[in-house]
């Protein structure tokens, strides 16, 4: 059994589906514009996927396309791809085309664990459940070095 299939692997939950709050409201990135590596606007942070055991943010759920949220697509971006957070925006280290091509979750195709593993593979970063994984610090008001 792999770590991704382990029954002890934490479950990810949308922060917006819980009664939890972010301790410092200035650090709540939901609603901020997401900017790609080329300075192009991708969409907005719709929600955060949080590891329910460690209380770490693992993915930003970004909503893009559509009109006024209708017909919008949701894309999961691992926190490992975030390079900068400002009071108004979140910057990612990929371009718009790459983010738009990320795997889309479809419960008919597979499990959430398989989906998360696919997203991490797509972005080329180690999943949070792998041995030795350390969550990156979120780079508020400046680029992570």
Return the structure tokens found at 133.
């994984």
- Residue 89 is predicted with a pLDDT of 96
Classify domain 3-123 at the CATH superfamily level.
Photosynthetic Reaction Center, subunit H, domain 2 (3.90.50.10)
- Residue 29 is predicted with a pLDDT of 94
- Residue 3 is predicted with a pLDDT of 41
Per-residue pLDDT tens digits of the chain, which is 145 residues long:
344 444 456 688 899 888 888 878 778 999 999 999 999 999 999 999 998 888 889 999 998 876 665 667 889 999 999 999 999 999 999 999 999 899 987 767 767 888 899 999 999 999 999 898 887 877 655 554 4
- Residue 98 is predicted with a pLDDT of 94
Q: What phi and psi values does residue 55 have, to the nearest 5 degrees?
A: 55, 40
- Residue 134 is predicted with a pLDDT of 84
Domain ranges of the chain: 3-123
Cβ neighbours, 10 Å, residue 12:
20
How many residues are listed for the chain in this entry? 145
Specify the DSSP class assigned to residue 116.
H
């Amino acid at each position: 059994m792999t770590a991704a299939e382990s029954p002890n692997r934490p479950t990810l939950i949308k922060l917006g589906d819980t009664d939890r709050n972010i301790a410092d409201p200035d650090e709540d990135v939901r609603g901020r514009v997401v900017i790609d590596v080329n300075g192009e606007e991708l969409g907005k942070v719709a929600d955060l996927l949080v590891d329910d055991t460690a209380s770490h943010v693992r993915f930003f759920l970004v909503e893009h396309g559509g009109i006024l949220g209708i017909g919008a697509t949701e894309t999961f971006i691992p926190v490992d791809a975030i390079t900068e957070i400002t009071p108004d925006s979140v910057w990612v280290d990929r371009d718009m085309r790459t983010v738009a091509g990320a795997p889309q979750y479809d419960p008919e195709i597979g499990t959430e664990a398989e989906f998360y593993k696919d997203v991490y593979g797509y972005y080329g970063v180690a999943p949070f459940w792998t041995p030795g994984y350390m969550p990156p610090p979120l780079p508020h008001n400046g680029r992570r070095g």
